[in-house]
Amino acid sequence: MGRRLVLEHVRFAGVVAAALIAVYAVIKYRLYGGWRRFDLLLALAIALAIATVSFVPQVGNVFLGLFDLQNRGFALLVVSNLALFGLFLYLLNQLRQNGLKNGRLVSGLAIREYRERFGLRKKADGRADGSERRLLVLVPAYNEAPTILQVLRTLPESVLGYRVDVLVVDDGSTDGTEEILLSAGYPVAVHAVNRGQGDALRTGFEIACLEGADIVVNFDADGQYRAEDLEDLIRPVVEGEADYVHGSRFLGFYEEAGSVRHLGVVFFSRLISLLSGQRITDATNGFRAIRGSEVAKLDLREESFSATELILEALRNDLRLVEVPVSMLKRAEGESKKPKRLRYPLGVLRVIIQTWLR
């Protein structure tokens, strides 16, 4: 009798714990916005597992039979390890959330310093009366001192009736990139520490919104993209056919065609096409144009592997997306900043899955 009473108390405690976890998860997700859909699903799955075991203790016997386990102690150890793995995933996610907060802090400081140095060009040039259309070329840069000026000087002063302005986001460079840009008269927002291309783009996008740019173009500092493709890239936006135009090396010219990276890009492009329902041929290309009024809709959280996140976010927010042919050359000088070996493909895969689960 006493043992049965104890079991009833344990079951009751399990049900209460499951209910508290579920309520906390829903409140955190719905009211405070601190959790993503993945966090909510993980917490609800844990709550459901606790409630099920509490209500239906026979589930333990099913688990034993399923994995052909005869020892209940060993079975409990297996379940505990699975629970710990779930908690490990949760802690990893919390670390990413803290990283996102740190990125926002670095970005906020960079934007404040930028405004003190250069003000907002929207206010200074009379753009408010609609008399001039502006194209902002956003260039993230990290230790690109040898090539940055050469690349920027290839950009035209205007294209298809839009004045071309340049904004470089120096992502914590240590090779004098900032000083070179300032001495040449280019506006530059500076991250105090290196955060990754994704964070650099977020900083640039926020400045673009503050300045009221009509079109925002992403352009790399390593010389891989051609300024001559700029007109074709923005044309669908100018003519009202698209809100987001993605450059594709596979529709145009790719100097490293046939490489291992080529195969990886094809794989990720097909995966995104499958998940999004729209054909994408070059998922990791960084040469893109976005209608300025649509930039603020994009919920960007990734620090480094931002290209696939941008595509999925654009489609999730119903931006009209088209691809156009562009050329992609080898780096003009220096080494790629992309992670080596498997870190890059695994990082891209992680971002695709996390963005799709939002």
Strands (E), the chain: 134-141, 158-159, 162-171, 188-191, 215-218, 244-254, 288-291, 321-328
Q: What's the CA gap between 15 and 51, in Å, rounded? A: 5
The residue length of the chain stands at 358
Helix, strand, or coil (residue 139): strand
List, in order, residues 6 or more apart from 243 with CB less than 8 Å away. Answer: 237, 290, 291, 294, 314, 319, 320, 321
What pLDDT shows up at residue 4? 59
Sequential DSSP letters for 298-333:
-----SS-HHHHHHHHHHHTT--EEEEEEEEPPPSS
DSSP tag of 257 = T
CA angle 56, 59, 64 (to 5 degrees): 155
Task: For helices 306-316 and 260-276, give the axis angle rounded to 10 degrees.
Answer: 20
Which DSSP category does 329 fall into?
A: P
Of the candidates 204, 214, 237, 113, the residue with the CA atom closest to the CA atom of residue 164: 214
Contact of 128 with 122, CB cutoff 8 Å: yes
Q: How far apart are CA 274 and CA 18, in angstroms?
A: 36
> Given this model, what pLDDT does residue 333 score?
60
Query: Which tokens belong to 57?
Result: 């203790």
pLDDT at residue 284 in the model: 92
How many C-beta neighbours within 10 Å does residue 289 have?
27
CA–CA distance, 41 with 25 (Å, rounded to integer): 9
pLDDT for 240 equals 95
Question: Which residues of the chain fall below pLDDT 70?
Answer: 1-11, 32-35, 53-83, 86, 89-90, 122-131, 256-260, 331-341
Q: Is 191 helix (H, G, I), strand (E, B) or coil?
A: strand
Encoding tokens for residue 254?
């790719």
pLDDT in the model for residue 34: 60
Phi/psi-derived region of residue 97, left when phi > 0, alpha when psi is between -120 and 50, beta in every other case: alpha
- pLDDT number for residue 123: 46
pLDDT at position 217 is 98
By the 8 A CB rule, do 100 and 187 touch? no
Give me the pLDDT at residue 129, please: 45
Task: Name which of 301, 309, 299 is nearest 96 in CA terms.
Answer: 301
CB 354 within 8 A of CB 275: no
